Amino acid sequence: MNHEISPEPVRVGPATIAFRLSDAAGNPITGAQVGIEADMSHAGMSPKFGGAKEREPGRYQAHLEFQMAGDWVILLHITLPDGKKLERQIDVRGVRPN
């Protein structure tokens, strides 16, 4: 799985995360259900939840909002078409203040 976040560098405010899901052979995984959870790296902040939409075969995109500067962790809760569940973590270091 590879991903990109815009804007770059990431700042407090709305952001878009896009990622590709592919199987071991490199074929795009289509039709997956992807839930997004964004957490800060420190206690005291509630996680933000959302969902990702498939924009093209195997390419998913989600909108999220970074409410505070600092380190964030994005968890992808993925349900594959065959029902198998996966979890992937994306570390977003150093979200900058506006």
Residues at the interface with another protein (CB under 8 A): 9, 12, 39-47, 49, 68-71, 73, 93-98
Relative to beta strand 48-56, strand 59-66 is: antiparallel
In the bound state with another protein, the residue whose beta carbon lies nearer, of 26 and 44, is 44
Residue 27 DSSP code: P
CA–CA gap between residue 35 and residue 40 (Å, rounded):
17
CA–CA gap between residue 15 and residue 30 (Å, rounded):
23
Q: Rounded to the nearest whole angstrom, what is the least distance from the CB of residue 91 to another protein in the complex?
A: 9
In the bound state with another protein, the residue whose beta carbon lies nearer, of 73 and 80, is 73
Contact (CB, 8 A) for 75 and 89: yes
In the bound state with another protein, the residue whose beta carbon lies nearer, of 67 and 79, is 67
Q: Rounded to the nearest whole angstrom, what is the least distance from the CB of residue 12 to another protein in the complex?
A: 8
